[in-house]
Amino acid sequence: MNKKDASWEKGTKIRGKNPDVWRKDCKGNTIRYGSYGTCGEYGWEIDHKHPVSQGGTNNYRNLQALHWQANRSKGKKYPS
């Protein structure tokens, strides 16, 4: 599984919505799979839970899908 899909799988499924298309990130933001890498309403990015700059790794366990605005707000803060 690639990093994008592994991160997506960690999102919370939304009842009544196709889980291949819609999820919620750990902050409760609705994200859409097809909006990966965009800055739109449902855009999201791959986030390092523990920033690489602070000793985190690129291991799948350290990655998650996060709405782009939440990711930018988080920056290098750890824990988030």
- pLDDT tens-digit readout, 18-77: 999 999 999 999 999 999 999 999 999 999 999 999 999 999 999 999 999 999 998 877
Q: What is the mean pLDDT of residues 14-20?
A: 99
pLDDT at 17: 99
Specify the pTM: 0.91
pLDDT at 80: 64
pLDDT at 42: 99
Around 16, how many Cα atoms within 13 Å sit in the side-chain half-sphere?
0
pLDDT at 36: 99
CA distances to 13, 23, 48, 65 from 72, rounded to whole Å, are: 23, 19, 12, 13
